[in-house]
Amino acid sequence: MTLPVPTESPPPAEGDNAPARAAEIQLAPAPEAAAARAEPGTGPLTLRGITFAPARFCAPMAGLTHSAFRRLVADFGGHGALFTEMICGRWLLREDANRSPALKRRPEEGRVIYQLMLTAPEEVAPAVERLADCRPDGLDLNCACPAPKIRQRGAGSELFTDRPRLEGILRALRREWPGVLTVKIRLGRPEPSWRTILGDRLRLFADCGVDAVTLHPRFADEKLKRRARHEVFPELLAETRLPLIASGDLHGPEGVRRQAAALAGVAGIMVGRLAVVRPWIFRAWSDPDFFPEPVAVWERFVRYVREDFPEPKAFLQARVLVTYLARNFRFGHRLFALAQGARAWAELVERVGEFLENGPERLQEPDLSGLA
Ligand SMILES: Cc1cc2nc3c(=O)[nH]c(=O)nc-3n(C[C@H](O)[C@H](O)[C@H](O)COP(=O)(O)O)c2cc1C
């Protein structure tokens, strides 16, 4: 099995459209027998005495996985834990953890892991202290975010490349936070040494007392339209004792089954965009015919968002959800256009409600392309 990576510096700005300057890196093939094992994500994952069952996780998604959304997903159940959106350590200190729409945590959400965006060890203690009120089921360090704004600050996927600073932050986290500690990463920079660096970081994580790692197997600069390279998992699993959670293009049970050989042995499955398109996806995992009345889902979300956000922000949040929800329908582009054309809250709620009440034709498998 081969994994192509660019041989030189990171790809140019066009990213995914850039011509491939690829070297072929050899990887051990996924073991044949592996596919026969239990579907990954089905069993429980226990870390530091906390059980996540099943080991299916709703991904951290900036601007999306606030409390109102997590509440909606949790209403349907079937998840092991929900990740918050990425929370900046400094911003956190200015927020009221019990009122902030991103930070507040309701008992009905079930297990919630708070994802932190940190740039220096000094940020750790105040952030952990501030989050105490939320009683996180785990803290996750973002070492994956490719957004230029975040990388310029030395966080996200940039932190992954800066070993001393990364180690300082991890050791501070482990000192200040006695609970579950996870890290979310990508493959690193697309350079010939990516694999050596990745192996080194996994050893560093284990050495620093990290409990599990989520790997979204794309290189730091790759957009979501490039495929996730799950074929890296068997080799990584063979060399680390850390539980690895897989993220990227794992769109429901079918998506996981298609990758069964590569994913055999991963400790959990993380779902991102599909969970926004279908907030009921975790429930539908074990109940494939489950598809709630879309208008009821919409009305519920509208209520939750309105409870947490003042009107101008509530409007934007609800409109973003429609972008995703629309992917469930054959003529979803019409729903999208209706929402985009709405100028105010009441108009948005009414237009979307009307479209959904008319029983739009549903798609078996929604197309997620272009969602980011
Ligand atoms: C809108 C959006 C926001 C995201 N924000 C974050 C984030 O804050 N932290 C993070 O670690 N990953 C973030 N991601 C990446 C997801 O967690 C996930 O790894 C990625 O979408 C691939 O999974 P999927 O194919 O299931 O969507 C984001 C993805 C999207 C689409």
Q: pLDDT tens digits for 85-114? A: 999 999 999 999 999 999 999 999 999 999
Q: Select from 286, 308, 342 the last residue of a domain.
A: 286
Q: Domain of 313?
A: 294-357
Q: Are residues 61 and 132 in the same domain?
A: yes
Query: pLDDT tens digits for 121-168?
Result: 999 999 999 999 999 999 999 999 999 999 999 999 999 999 999 999
Strand partners, 183: 141, 213
Q: Are residues 209 and 64 in the same domain?
A: yes
String of b and e for 56-68 (b: at least 16 CB within 10 Å)? bbbbbbbebbbbb
Q: Are residues 274 and 243 in the same domain?
A: yes
Q: Are residues 66 and 194 in the same domain?
A: yes
Q: Are residues 194 and 217 in the same domain?
A: yes
pLDDT at 21: 33
**Cβ of 20 less than 6 Å from ligand 1:** no
Share of the chain above pLDDT 70, in %: 90
Q: What is the mean pLDDT of residues 263-290?
A: 97
Directed axis angle between helix 163-176 and helix 194-207, to 10°? 20
Interatomic CA distance for residues 235 and 271, integer angstroms: 22
**Cβ of 87 less than 6 Å from ligand 1:** no
Q: How far is the CA of 327 from the centre of ligand 1 (A)?
A: 17
**Cβ of 213 less than 6 Å from ligand 1:** no
| 275 or 21, higher pLDDT | 275
**Cβ of 66 less than 6 Å from ligand 1:** no
Q: How far is the CA of 304 from the centre of ligand 1 (A)?
A: 22
**pLDDT tier, 214 (very low <50, low <70, confident <90, very high otherwise):** very high
- The answer, yes or no, to whether residue 275 has pLDDT greater than 60, is yes
Query: pLDDT tens digits for 18-50?
Result: 333 333 334 444 444 444 457 899 999 999 999
User: Of all helices (H) and strands (E), which one includes residue 115?
Assistant: strand 112-117
Ligand 1 mutation pick, 149, 216, 245, max ligand atoms within 8 A of CB = 216
Nearest residue (by CA) to ligand 1, atom 5, is 61
- The answer, yes or no, to whether residue 259 has pLDDT greater than 60, is yes
pLDDT at 94: 94
* Averaged pLDDT score across all residues of the chain: 91
Quote the number of domains for the chain. 2
| 35 or 84, higher pLDDT | 84
Q: Are residues 211 and 313 in the same domain?
A: no
Q: Residue 105, Cβ neighbours under 10 Å: how many?
A: 22
Q: Select from 286, 317, 333 the last residue of a domain.
A: 286
Q: Are residues 252 and 125 in the same domain?
A: yes
